[in-house]
Amino acid sequence: MREHARVVIIGGGISAAAELFLPTTLAELERRVLPSSREDMQVLVAKLGNQAGIVGAARLALQQYGDR
């Protein structure tokens, strides 16, 4: 049995324009993806938006190097 994506997260700079393309994206998912494959699927906009990469890099640095 193949697993399907349950959550799709739109992040980065494009997330600021989500209101412009998200309705069309959701409509296309409904039109093109089988109901069984999109069951429980969520399309979310990242809360950190364009800052996600910077925050992720900082977290990775802290995990790798801690308080050295």
User: Is residue 19 included in any domain, yes or no?
Assistant: yes
User: Is residue 13 included in any domain, yes or no?
Assistant: yes
Range of the domain at 55: 7-65
User: Is residue 1 included in any domain, yes or no?
Assistant: no
* pTM summary value: 0.67
User: Is residue 21 included in any domain, yes or no?
Assistant: yes
User: Is residue 18 included in any domain, yes or no?
Assistant: yes
User: Is residue 2 included in any domain, yes or no?
Assistant: no
DSSP secondary structure of the chain: -----SEEEE-SGGGGGHHHHHHHHHHHHHHHS-HHHHTT-EEEE-TTGGGHHHHHHHHHHHHHHTT-
User: Is residue 56 included in any domain, yes or no?
Assistant: yes
User: Is residue 52 included in any domain, yes or no?
Assistant: yes
pLDDT in tens, the chain (68 residues): 567 668 998 988 899 999 999 999 999 999 999 998 888 899 999 888 888 888 889 999 999 998 76
